[in-house]
């Protein structure tokens, strides 16, 4: 099947060829399957690139199962978090930097003799996360 797409503003035309061995498959189902396929590939890419799927060295079935599922859980969790403020403008790397900063700041502040106000803690976390973030910093109240 050939899909032809025309940009109405620029009149540029793009064509995509979709293949299937099932000659009875309806065109709308074929397009839907390709969309799902690419989403699955993007999820595996994120799991490998950001959440350790490529790095684990397990060979027994249970540890492999656990590591793969943990990586995919983190892909799904990061996608959900990135749909919510203040994380909506963050990349996965920015999100990881934010939560690393959160952990480090809270651990350091536990060493202080007295507690610190929550708004002050949030400001320190935001400032600390900026060291590792790629995109613009998140505004914290």
Going from N- to C-terminal start, the domains of the chain cover 88-141
**Structural contact between residues 43 and 68, judged by C-beta atoms closer than 8 angstroms:** no
Please report which confidence band the pLDDT of residue 119 belongs to, taking 50, 70 and 90 as the band edges: confident
Average pLDDT, the chain: 87
Q: What is the tens place of the pLDDT at every residue in 45-98? A: 999 999 988 888 888 999 999 999 999 999 999 999 989 877 888 888 889 988
- Beta-bridge mates of residue 3: 16
Percent of the chain with pLDDT over 70: 96
Percent of the chain with pLDDT over 90: 39
Handedness of CA 131, 136, 138, 141 (dihedral sign): positive
């Amino acid at each position: 099947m050939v899909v032809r797409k025309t940009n109405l503003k620029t009149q540029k035309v793009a064509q995509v060829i979709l293949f299937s061995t099932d000659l009875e498959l309806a065109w709308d189902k074929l397009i839907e399957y390709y969309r799902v396929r690419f989403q699955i590939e993007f999820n595996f890419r994120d799991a490998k690139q950001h959440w350790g799927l490529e790095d684990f060295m397990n060979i027994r079935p249970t540890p492999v199962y656990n590591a793969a599922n943990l990586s995919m859980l983190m892909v799904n969790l990061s996608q959900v978090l990135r749909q919510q403020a203040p994380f909506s403008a963050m990349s996965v790397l920015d999100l990881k930097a934010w939560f690393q900063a959160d952990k480090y700041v809270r651990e350091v502040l536990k060493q202080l003799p007295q507690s610190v106000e929550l708004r002050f803690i949030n400001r320190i976390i935001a400032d600390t996360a900026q060291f590792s973030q790629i995109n613009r910093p998140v505004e914290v109240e």
